[in-house]
């Protein structure tokens, strides 16, 4: 698409769902002359080599960032501070350093103090993902029409911000800029609280008296299975999210609990009017999400339904 | 498939997502000589006539059930008692009377007293659905590989139960038989509680200070949108579910609240180990659901992802 690639060398620290998807999309769109990566385990590094998507797979983060114009940490939020410390002395002057973490306040607090003044720090969060993880889970289309939020600290070089914006646009994303604190509040409700609730209810169903686990699995199509998908997300990533965005999550949780009490009271009192009014309002919100293209309009998420007379695969 | 159709005449009371799907599938599989239906509003009746799926669209329930071998109430649970009363005197002796309600204890209590001894009452609940409703929302494949639970009262004619079982199997469903009370407990956790939680969180997100509704919609791909799909389900149907399965729902809600308190405490204390342990356990449950064929194994529910360079539709 571009006459010359936007970056000569991109270094990805970590090659899971997000790192692997960035590599695939960036290569497909010709956004870099070279892409190198590291992965924490020897097994992952071997697998990434086999996949043949990147130009080099290195053992240490320090080696990987050498001469890179763009360094992206694609690792759990809790690991970002230590990696920033590790790579700081090896960064090329003028390099853009970014990440993909789901929490931004903590990432800025943990990383910024370690980075040299000669590097441009532009934290980022692509709001996209699936329940899968590991080197094989990524795909080039993951970011298309999803949002990527940049949270550059005050005083960041506008040119560096613009180059990263253009990079994410090249991966197919729509880009928005906001402060780290506002990001953390918005994501607390749109992502962190939903995950916490899903993790809770799936756990609840796992240890009931009177209903067996096999019954829970069998009859999950009644609604439960929609929760299990997000409760299957990477446990380390999500542990870190809740440890690092504690305040905003607890605040949203407080509001959620109040609202749940209200609906519980309506059920206890048999107040059908209050229930109907609430359920009608939430239906409109779904419509809004489909209208702005943030979800499939196909019923049941477009889940496959086999034809009659044939069995589903 | 069969040499002779299982039923000469089927009467469907109500032609929404479930009634419309039964009609389409039964016709496609040749399970009845004739299928007639009623719908509450003149507008719906006109639309069902246009669709041309059934043999006749009648104005009253009493007319519809005349000479029918199988009568299925495909209406909200709260309306079943009144309809049973309405049709009782018009049922053909030996007719099977069934329903598709998501709550079974209340349906048995509301319907059974009105039905004549000459009819066979076999309540049923197909555990399948989408967030859509209305005459156009049904499709013949809805029940394939989903479960249909029958809850015949003690002493029901085994032959009638077997004929209804075979009918649902013909629609593609797997059939299970249990008591109404056990059904209501199982569905409270696999369906009713998930819906209540989804309705709550979507409502919470709708009236936050500090985060606009437009931000909630934009960044919903982080997890929130999975909840909005089930919070878009038919409000009347779900009002009735919570009014009629109150005890079981409140019991499950109590357990859920205890579990949520535990996870909240782990977040507040920064107990990463407890969070990691919980999140690892819930991941395994997802795997179980995919393995037994109750959900798509495709990541992201197989949601469509446009190709790079092309825009998603």
Q: Give pLDDT tens digits for B14-60.
A: 999 999 999 999 999 999 999 999 999 999 999 999 999 999 999 99
**How would residue A299 be classed by pLDDT, with cut points 50, 70 and 90?**
confident
B78-95 residue pLDDT tens: 999 999 999 999 999 999
Segment among A10-24, A138-152, A167-181, B298-312 with least mean pLDDT: B298-312
pLDDT of residue A157: 97
Contact at CB, B285 and A206, closer than 8 angstroms: yes
Interface residue B191 vs chain A (CB under 8 A) = yes
Q: How far apart are CA B4 and CA B2, in angstroms?
A: 5
pLDDT above 70 covers a percentage of chain B that reads: 97
Mean pLDDT of A264-279: 97
Contact at CB, A238 and B264, closer than 8 angstroms: no
Mean pLDDT of A2-19: 89
The neighbouring-strand residues paired with B70 are: B10, B96
pLDDT of residue B312: 42
**How would residue A87 be classed by pLDDT, with cut points 50, 70 and 90?**
very high
Whether the predicted pLDDT of B3 surpasses 90: no
Pick the closest to residue A141 from A160, A123, A126 (CA basis).
A126
Interface residue B127 vs chain A (CB under 8 A) = yes
Output the six-digit token pair for A135: 């080197």
Of A141, A238, A287, the CB nearest to B307: A141
Interface residue B313 vs chain A (CB under 8 A) = no
Mind listing the domains of chain B with CATH numbers? 7-178 (3.40.50.720), 182-296 (1.10.3660.10)
Mean pLDDT of B89-102: 98
Match 């853009």 to its residue by tokens.
A96
Whether the predicted pLDDT of B295 surpasses 70: yes
Output the six-digit token pair for B124: 């049923």
Interface residue B197 vs chain A (CB under 8 A) = yes
pLDDT of residue A311: 45
**How would residue B294 be classed by pLDDT, with cut points 50, 70 and 90?**
confident
Backbone angles phi, psi at B267, to 5 degrees: -65, -50
pLDDT of residue A207: 83
Q: How far apart are CA B289 and CA A216, in angstroms?
A: 9
**How would residue A1 be classed by pLDDT, with cut points 50, 70 and 90?**
very low
List alpha helices for chain B, DSSP H: 17-28, 42-51, 61-65, 80-87, 105-111, 158-170, 180-187, 193-206, 213-218, 224-230, 235-244, 246-269, 272-291
Contact at CB, B300 and A130, closer than 8 angstroms: yes
Pick the closest to residue B138 from B43, B235, B71, B47 (CA basis).
B47
A119-151 residue pLDDT tens: 999 999 999 999 899 999 999 999 999 999 999
B236 Cα to chain A: minimum distance (Å): 6
Residue pair A172/B235 in contact by the 8 Å Cβ criterion: no
Interface-testing mutation among B206, B212, B224, with chain A (most A C-beta atoms within 10 A): B224
Residue pair B45/B59 in contact by the 8 Å Cβ criterion: yes
Contacts of B275 in chain A (CB under 8 A): 235, 238-239, 242-243
- Calculate the average pLDDT of chain A: 93
Pick the closest to residue B302 from A133, A300, A22 (CA basis).
A300
Of A144, A199, A303, the CB nearest to B301: A303
Cα dist from A82 to A69, A111, A237, B185, whole Å? 20, 8, 16, 48
A209 Cα to chain B: minimum distance (Å): 10
3-state secondary structure of A54: coil
Interface-testing mutation among B207, B254, B268, B289, with chain A (most A C-beta atoms within 10 A): B289
- Calculate the average pLDDT of chain B: 93
**How would residue B1 be classed by pLDDT, with cut points 50, 70 and 90?**
very low
Mean pLDDT of B119-145: 95
Contact at CB, B222 and A191, closer than 8 angstroms: yes
pLDDT of residue A309: 61
Mean pLDDT of A4-30: 95
Residue pair A121/A156 in contact by the 8 Å Cβ criterion: yes
* A vs B: CB pairs below 8 A: 404
Whether the predicted pLDDT of A255 surpasses 80: yes
pLDDT of residue A296: 84
Interface residue B213 vs chain A (CB under 8 A) = yes
Output the six-digit token pair for B251: 């019991």
Helix/strand/coil percent split, chain A, to 5 = 55, 10, 35
Q: How far apart are CA A305 and CA A295, in angstroms?
A: 19
Q: How far apart are CA B229 and CA B250, in angstroms?
A: 23
Would strands B124-126 and B147-150 be described as parallel, antiparallel, or unpaired? antiparallel
Mean pLDDT of A243-264: 96
Mean pLDDT of A14-18: 97
Of B197, B220, B283, the CB nearest to A190: B220
B120 Cα to chain A: minimum distance (Å): 26
Interface residue A311 vs chain B (CB under 8 A) = yes
Whether the predicted pLDDT of B173 surpasses 80: yes
pLDDT of residue A38: 96
Whether the predicted pLDDT of A257 surpasses 80: yes
Mean pLDDT of A16-34: 97
A291 Cα to chain B: minimum distance (Å): 10
pLDDT of residue A209: 85
Contacts of A249 in chain B (CB under 8 A): 267
Interface residue A4 vs chain B (CB under 8 A) = no
Mean pLDDT of B293-309: 80
Whether the predicted pLDDT of B313 surpasses 80: no
């Amino acid at each position: 698409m571009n006459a010359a690639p936007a970056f000569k060398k991109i270094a990805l620290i970590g090659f899971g769902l997000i790192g692997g998807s960035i590599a695939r999309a960036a290569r497909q769109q010709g956004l870099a002359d070279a892409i190198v990566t590291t992965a924490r385990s020897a097994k992952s590094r071997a697998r990434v080599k086999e996949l043949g998507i990147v130009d080099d797979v290195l053992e240490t983060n320090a080696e990987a960032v050498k001469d890179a114009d763009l360094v992206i940490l694609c690792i759990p939020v809790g690991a970002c501070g230590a990696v920033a410390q590790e790579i700081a002395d090896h960064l090329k002057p003028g390099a853009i350093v970014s990440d993909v973490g789901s929490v931004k306040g903590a990432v800025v607090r943990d990383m910024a103090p370690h980075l040299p003044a000669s590097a441009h720090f532009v934290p980022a969060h692509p709001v996209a993902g699936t329940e899968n993880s590991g080197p094989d889970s990524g795909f080039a289309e993951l970011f298309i029409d999803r949002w990527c939020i940049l949270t550059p600290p005050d005083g960041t070089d506008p040119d560096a911000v613009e180059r990263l914006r253009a990079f994410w646009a090249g991966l197919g994303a729509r880009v928005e800029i906001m402060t780290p604190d506002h990001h953390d509040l918005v994501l607390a409700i749109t992502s962190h609280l939903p995950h916490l609730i899903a993790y809770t209810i799936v756990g609840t169903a796992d240890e009931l008296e009177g209903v067996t686990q096999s019954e829970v699995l069998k009859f999950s199509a009644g609604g439960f299975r929609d929760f299990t998908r997000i409760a299957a997300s990477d446990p380390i990533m999500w542990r870190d999210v809740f440890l690092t965005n504690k305040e905003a999550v607890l605040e949203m949780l407080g509001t959620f609990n109040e609202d749940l009490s209200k609906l519980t009271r309506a059920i206890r009192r048999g107040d059908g009017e209050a229930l109907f009014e609430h359920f009608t309002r939430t239906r409109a919100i779904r419509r809004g999400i489909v209208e702005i293209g943030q979800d499939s309009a196909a019923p049941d998420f477009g889940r496959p339904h086999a034809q009659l007379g044939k069995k589903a695969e």
